[in-house]
Amino acid sequence: MTDGYGLAELVERSGLPARTIRWYQSEGLLPKPTKRGRDAVYTDEHLQRLQLIAELRDRGLTLTAVRDLVGRERPARTVAEWLGIDATLSAPWSEDRPRIVDRQELAQLTAGRRPGLLAELQDAGYVQPADSGTWLVPSPALLDLALQLHDAGVDVDLSGQLRDLLRRRLSKAVDDAVKLVVGRTGAGFAGNATPEEVATAVGALRPIARETTSLILAHEVERALRELVDAGPTAIKRKRR
């Protein structure tokens, strides 16, 4: 712990320009310095606060949200709790992650299939050219499913359209579901829970949400196909046109 230092040293230690530090003070994000004669004196507390602000900003928080967190009675505890909840809510719900593959790996993925398939996969967004002769696969799992559908007779363009349709409709449903859950926080979900209790609740929600979505989608596919069959051969032929 130092006895304090001036603005110039705080600028050097924090890497922030003086005008930013002064602005943080004016916005209530940073405590005002003490005075030693006519000189402003900053401490390690100011430096730590600046580092905390930078970390929160890097996580995408607005200045308003940062001010709310660091302005609490016990900011260190409040931020620690928020970071714990942030880590819990930001944890992945799927192991499917983008991959970079080279030409040989891509050729292995499409091996034994007809010429021109790679171009169709690119047009449908399953693979994207990257740098130095490599390819980006945004979703290896969806690419594998597209290839399975292709082998079953469903062309790549159609599977891509189905993927995009489901994503559009599901994204709206998920947005509404998250709003519903957040709106019930304190009543039907989480309440005054600690970060550990929130983690437990979200951990339980993950597999149930996946299974529920899969079941509802299966039920709706069954319903739509049954309605199509019940409508008779004429309706099916009309759909094929």
E runs forming strands in the chain: 34-36, 39-41, 99-102, 128-129, 134-137
pLDDT tens digits for 137-194? 999 999 999 999 999 999 999 999 999 999 999 888 888 887 776 666 555 555 566 6
- Token readout for 67 is 């001010």
Q: Which of 64, 90, 116 is where one domain is finished?
A: 90
User: What number of other Cβ atoms are within 10 A of residue 22's Cβ?
Assistant: 13
DSSP reduced 3-state for 99: strand
Q: Please state the domain count of the chain.
A: 3
Q: Tell me the HSE value of 17 on the side-chain side, using a 13 A CA sphere.
A: 3
pLDDT tens digits for 23-53? 988 888 888 888 888 888 999 889 888 888 8
- Say what percent of the chain tops pLDDT 90: 27
What confidence score (pLDDT) does residue 76 get? 57
Mean pLDDT of the chain: 82
If phi > 0 it is left, if psi is from -120 to 50 it is alpha, else beta; for residue 33 that is: beta
Residue 175 maps to a domain: no
What confidence score (pLDDT) does residue 137 get? 93
CB burial class (10 A; 0-12, 13-18, 19+) of residue 13?
middle
In 99-194, alpha helices (H): 103-109, 117-123, 140-151, 156-183
Regarding whether 86 and 55 lie in a shared domain, the answer is: yes
Regarding whether 33 and 86 lie in a shared domain, the answer is: yes
pLDDT tens digits for 66-81? 887 777 656 655 566 6
Contact 42, 5 (CB under 8 A): yes
Q: Which of 66, 90, 114 is where one domain is finished?
A: 90
Domain that holds residue 234: 184-241
Residue 177 maps to a domain: no
Contact 188, 182 (CB under 8 A): no
Rounded distance between C-alpha atoms, residue 50 and residue 33, angstroms:
13
Residues sharing a CB contact under 8 Å with residue 120, sequence separation 6 or more, in sequence order: 155, 156, 157
